[in-house]
Amino acid sequence: MSSGSFSEATRILYEGHKLKGLAMTPEAFPLFNTTAFTMGDLDDVDKTYSEKGYTYVRTRNPNRTALAEAISFLELGSHSLIFSSGMGGITTTYFSLLNPGDHFICNSYIYGETFDAINQLVRKCSVEVDFVDFTDLELLRSAIKPNTKMLYTEVVSNPTDVIADIEEIAKIACLAGAWLMVDNTFTTPLAVKPLSLGADIVINSLTKFLNGHSDALAGSITVKDYNLFSRIQEIRMLTGTSAEPYTAWTVFKGLQTVHLRVNKQMENAAKLAGALEASPVVLKVNHPSLKSNPQHELAKKIFKDDNHMTGVLSFDMPDDKEKINQFMNRLRLAHYAPTLGGIRTSLSHPVHSSHHHVPEAERKKMGISYGTMRVSCGIEDAEDLTADFMQALEVFK
């Protein structure tokens, strides 16, 4: 879509709908459920390949292209690639850009399976790896080596919402001649646009807020630089980590309502975080909107306001399994589901799910205890949601 005068909430309804080479204009973007597109003679084959037209599904598909255009619009990037999962996007990008002998630095506050992928896959490629606390910028600066090739972080960490100062970290990466890759899954491009803060690559697990309906597994990476895009695209073809058309179609449909859903989810999270903090039985609440959060000033610098930060929070209860079970059984709305970003509020226990494989000592450093519960807020009425948590927490009294 060309007009820059409309709001993001308006434009996301139109982005991607008019693809090059698509002569028809159906109101709902159709599913191109085909493994290939037919071609005429060899001249036509040559022409299709040289124009990067639609050939084989693993290479290109209109549903992925439409979704990629919409994500590039939201992330203020020039190119996006759509993957079979968020992990597919993360690992394929590592394989595309890192070589033996390179040095890679990852924030020590990180999603458990990203931590596992780095330890089990990146190290195997003879890449030197360091996990560094990115809240300490001096420490990060001192960790840079002549062979540092990439810095990697989430905007706010899974599950404790520790914020990374993307703008400052991007300056460090730039001085080192390294790429900064940022995971925007928890925050989404509605809250923050890492490419505009200096990041080179942004990854989103589309399985979460951007699809929002808990019915598709997909991921994306977005860049500003065509060379980066084509390097990653080439490896995606070889790893076979492209999303299949139905998934891309599903996520594209979910994305149309992203403003209605995610703004409400972020508001709900801020309200629930405030209510939980006021509860005498809750030991600690992690959400950047809280004035008591040691990074609240940084949060104000990065985000528009308290109600537009992230739809995910976590909080600590006493490490008492029996009481935690009673609390979970008393909740009438929020329910356990090892995912996030859906329209219904869900809980997840990091020790059992997202950080299950992370050694206990590392988990402790990330601020995760047995009593830590992650909450992904849905679009319920905030008053219903908070009242339900408050009545369930009575079990600790």
Ligand X SMILES: Cc1ncc(COP(=O)(O)O)c(C=O)c1O
User: Could you list the residues that contact ligand X (CB under 6 A)?
Assistant: 85-87, 111, 154, 158, 183, 185-186, 205, 207, 217, 219
CB closer to ligand X, 210 vs 317 = 210
CB closer to ligand X, 90 vs 275 = 90
Judged by DSSP in three states, 24 sits in coil
Closest contact distance (angstroms) between CB of 32 and ligand X is 22
Closest contact distance (angstroms) between CB of 302 and ligand X is 17
CB closer to ligand X, 161 vs 183 = 183
CB closer to ligand X, 157 vs 386 = 157
Closest contact distance (angstroms) between CB of 323 and ligand X is 26
Give the whole-angstrom CA distance, residue 349 versus residue 344: 17
In what side-by-side order are the strands of the sheet with 128-132? 79-83, 219-223, 201-205, 179-183, 148-154, 103-107, 128-132
186 and 192 in contact (C-beta within 8 Å)? no
Closest contact distance (angstroms) between CB of 17 and ligand X is 25
Q: Give the distance between the most distant pair of CA atoms in the chain.
A: 77
Closest contact distance (angstroms) between CB of 110 and ligand X is 8
Continuous segment of H or E residues that includes residue 262: helix 258-278
CB closer to ligand X, 154 vs 165 = 154
Closest contact distance (angstroms) between CB of 127 and ligand X is 19
Does the CA dihedral 375-377-383-388 come out positive or negative? Answer: negative
Closest contact distance (angstroms) between CB of 159 and ligand X is 8
Q: Which residue's CB comes closest to ligand X?
A: 86
CB closer to ligand X, 65 vs 160 = 160
Judged by DSSP in three states, 342 sits in coil
Q: Which tokens hold the place of 13?
A: 């309804």
338 and 348 in contact (C-beta within 8 Å)? yes
Determine the length of the chain. 397
The CA-atom distances, in angstroms, between 92 and each of 81, 104, 147, 173, 237 are 11, 15, 21, 21, 10
CB closer to ligand X, 86 vs 378 = 86
The CA-atom distances, in angstroms, between 204 and each of 97, 162, 217, 283, 290 are 18, 17, 11, 31, 25
